[in-house]
């Protein structure tokens, strides 16, 4: 993080800029890169979208300007903006967006949900689906949400002001053939049981071919994540720099771009699927 901060010009760090420095630090660690590698291998690297946006000027101009050589490497010929980013935003028809969002999620949305969708269009649909499936899980204590209860452990969940549930996990049943198991627990002292799917035992995984670094027709995943968008299809002609896929990991978006002009021969992953670093994403013709 310290190295990236100095690489970027020791920028003033508030929530957006500090995250951008962190995104670049994570990217460098996962790809085993040092500062010198960023300069020497920059043309081959797909930098995190937040870093590209920063050097393009999408959160403003840092005091003293951008490191010029690094900006050229990261933008790869794309011109930066010099005005206030908000000046480039098109006007939003809120009611039209509300109608489209309601058709997409299948229920009415209030103003708060609408603004969340407009500000975070890639994140909100997944958040809304989670709410529909599991209700408001923000009331669950964070460690319990991420790691679950151990047998014999209990926790308190306040679902409304003055309304608290005491939940104690008693035991887990054996895994069934369909991947489900019984969960035995107490809810405010009363015995309960529920059948749930145990995703930890789902072992069906397809073979993941890796991109051949020596094959110019192969495009591999620069880092692990989930596929957000695949704006191209088999048979489509693309130019150098065209975005072929957008992946996301820990809110860090990365664009996979075409390295040469050509035609998309194979698309190996679809939206919503998870990829690992080096997975073969595209074969070009």
Report the CATH fold assignment for 2-86.
Cyclin A; domain 1 (1.10.472)
Report the CATH fold assignment for 94-134.
Arc Repressor Mutant, subunit A (1.10.10)
Surface-to-core class of residue 116, CB atoms within 10 Å of its CB (0-12 exposed, 13-18 middle, 19+ buried)? middle
Can you tell me whether residue 120 is helix, strand or coil? coil
Distance (Å, whole) CA 90 – CA 252: 24
Can you tell me whether residue 225 is helix, strand or coil? strand
CATH number of 141-201: 3.10.600.10
Q: Which of 250, 16, 274, 26 is nearest to 3 (CA)?
A: 26
Domain ranges of the chain: 2-86, 94-134, 141-201, 218-284
* DSSP summary character for residue 215: -
- List the chain pLDDT tens, one digit each, 285 residues: 999 999 999 999 998 999 999 999 999 999 999 999 999 999 889 999 999 999 999 999 998 899 999 999 999 999 999 999 989 988 999 999 999 999 988 889 999 999 999 998 888 988 998 998 889 999 999 999 999 999 999 999 999 999 999 999 999 999 988 788 999 999 999 999 999 888 777 555 456 789 987 788 999 999 889 999 999 999 999 999 999 999 998 778 899 999 999 999 999 999 989 898 889 999 999
- Decide if domain 218-284 falls under CATH 2.40.50.100: yes
Strand 218-220's sheet: what is its strand order? 218-220, 280-284, 262-267, 237-238
Backbone dihedral region for residue 140 (phi beyond 0: left; psi -120 to 50: alpha; all else: beta) = beta
Q: What are phi and psi of 166, to 5 degrees?
A: -100, 115
Contact 242, 255 (CB under 8 A): no
Predicted TM-score (pTM) of the model is 0.61
Q: What's the pLDDT score for residue 262?
A: 94
Strand 274-275's sheet: what is its strand order? 252-257, 243-249, 225-229, 274-275
Q: What are phi and psi of 236, to 5 degrees?
A: -80, 135
């Amino acid at each position: 993080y310290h190295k990236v901060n100095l690489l970027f010009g020791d920028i003033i760090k508030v929530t957006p800029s500090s995250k951008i420095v962190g995104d670049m630090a994570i990217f460098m660690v996962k790809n085993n890169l040092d500062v010198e590698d960023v300069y020497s291998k920059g043309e081959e690297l797909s930098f995190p979208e937040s870093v590209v946006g920063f050097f393009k000027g999408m959160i403003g101009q840092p005091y003293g300007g951008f490191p010029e050589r690094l900006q050229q490497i990261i933008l790869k010929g794309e011109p930066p903006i010099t005005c206030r980013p908000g000046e480039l935003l098109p006007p939003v028809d809120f009611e039209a967006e509300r109608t489209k969002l309601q058709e997409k999620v299948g229920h009415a949305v209030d103003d708060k949900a609408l603004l969340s969708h407009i500000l975070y269009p890639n994140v909100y649909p997944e958040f809304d689906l989670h709410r529909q499936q599991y209700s408001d899980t923000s009331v669950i204590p964070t460690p319990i949400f991420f790691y679950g209860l151990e047998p014999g452990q209990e926790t308190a969940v306040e679902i409304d002001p003055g309304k608290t549930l005491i939940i104690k996990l008693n035991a887990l049943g054996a895994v069934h053939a369909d991947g489900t198991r019984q969960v035995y627990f107490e809810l405010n002292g009363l015995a309960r049981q529920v059948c749930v799917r145990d995703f930890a035992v789902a072992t069906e995984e397809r073979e993941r071919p890796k991109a051949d670094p020596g094959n110019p027709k192969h495009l591999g995943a620069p880092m692990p994540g989930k596929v957000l968008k695949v704006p191209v299809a088999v048979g489509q002609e693309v130019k150098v720099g065209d975005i072929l896929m957008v992946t996301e990991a820990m809110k860090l978006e990365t664009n996979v771009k075409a390295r040469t002009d050509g035609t998309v021969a194979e698309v190996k992953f679809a939206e919503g699927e998870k990829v690992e670093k080096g997975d073969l994403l595209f074969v070009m013709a």
